Amino acid sequence: MESIAPKIGCVPQTLLEWVKRAEIDVGEQPGTTTAEAQRLKELERENKELRRANDILRTASAFFAQAELDRKLKS
């Protein structure tokens, strides 16, 4: 690592991290693969968007329910 890293323009720690990541990705080491980490990130983003949409729908539903009650009371 010490001799190869400067030849490719990085520090030994960076090269070591790349090697570890590659070993995890091919299954030689335990851990979360790059693809799994990316998928998890996408699912978390989607979950956040769905929670926001649900909040909006819940608020809109309450608004229209109240409007319907107000309309019935005026009749």
In terms of domains, do 38 and 53 share one?
Answer: yes
Query: Which domain does 55 fall in, by range?
Result: 33-75
pLDDT on residue 35: 97
In terms of domains, do 10 and 39 share one?
Answer: no
As a three-state string, the secondary structure of 53-68 is HHHHHHHHHHHHHHHH
**Between 74 and 8, residue with greater pLDDT:** 8
Beta-carbon contacts of 24 under 8 Å, excluding residues fewer than 6 positions away, are 30, 31, 32, 33, 34
Over residues 53-64, the pLDDT tens digits come to 999 999 999 999
In terms of domains, do 26 and 37 share one?
Answer: no
In terms of domains, do 50 and 75 share one?
Answer: yes
In terms of domains, do 27 and 39 share one?
Answer: no
Over residues 16-46, the pLDDT tens digits come to 999 999 999 999 999 999 999 999 999 999 9
- Stretch (H or E) spanning 37: helix 34-74
In terms of domains, do 25 and 47 share one?
Answer: no
Backbone angles phi, psi at 18, to 5 degrees: -65, -40
Helix orientation angle between 34-74 and 12-25, rounded to the nearest 10 degrees: 70
- The total of structural domains in the chain comes to 2
